[in-house]
Amino acid sequence: MSLLYEVLPVGDLQCNSVILYDPDSKEAVLFDPGDEAENILNSLKRLSCKIISIVHTHAHFDHVMATEKIIKENSEKIPLYLHQEDKFLWEKLSDQTASFGMPSDIKTLPQIDKWLKDDDIITIGGEKIKTIHTPGHSPGSCCFFYDNKDNPILISGDTVFYGSIGRTDLWGGDMSQLMNSIHDKIIGLPDETKIIPGHGPSTTISEEKKHNPFFVR
Ligand SMILES: [Zn+2]
Ligand SMILES: [Zn+2]
């Protein structure tokens, strides 16, 4: 059976934390636990799911603040995933929160267990999710594609939003890289692909081709 998902907007910046899960095996991968650990854990409990890994689309503070709390609440070790090129952001969390005027009790983040590369596969209940490295919003930003025939899904982080794209004025952001990522790696995905962005409402590839000014070169 195909994977299901639940989107939880969390924290001051309403980062979309995504639980992607297999309703049969009850395995879940948690994307971007940005904040509100309790809320995320309660949803997992309600779904009777067990987290098998935590994947970060990138290391901006609004996508990572609940990671440590969630792994501490779990009796088994949960591996953490991030692209190598966002390591510098992972390591300077307190600089990030300070520059947004959001002083935080959390000063450092736990150790990453697996550094993601383009094309790496993440499995959930036997289903495969492909890592697509899409630098631009940050150097290590990634999208995750579930190539499910009837119902393909893209978890896009802050690379693509409904009608827009992520900002490129933060640490290591690069507008021309982001445009290349969209045109070389995202625009060619199936039109019916559902996009779950890092913030705001969901959309589809075909919808963005019609209305998103950044999908036109
Ligand atoms: Zn971001
Ligand atoms: Zn964000």
All structural domains of the chain with their residue ranges: 4-215
pLDDT in tens, 17-73: 999 999 999 999 999 999 999 999 999 999 999 999 999 999 999 999 999 999 999
pLDDT in tens, 83-126: 999 999 999 999 999 998 887 788 889 999 999 999 999 999 99
Is residue 16 scored above 80 in pLDDT? yes
Look at the pTM and tell me if it is higher than 0.85: yes
Q: Output the CA 217–ligand 1 centroid distance in Å.
A: 23
Distance between CA atoms of residues 163 and 165, nearest Å: 7
DSSP run (H or E) holding 55:
strand 50-55
* Pair of tokens at residue 110: 């736990």
Q: Output the CA 162–ligand 1 centroid distance in Å.
A: 15
DSSP 82-124: EEGGGHHHHHTHHHHHHHTT---S--S-PPPSEEE-TT-EEEE
The CATH code of the domain at 4-215 is 3.60.15.10
The answer to whether 183 and 190 have CB atoms below 8 angstroms apart is no
Q: Which amino acid is at 79?
A: P
Q: Output the CA 133–ligand 1 centroid distance in Å.
A: 14
Q: Output the CA 1–ligand 1 centroid distance in Å.
A: 32
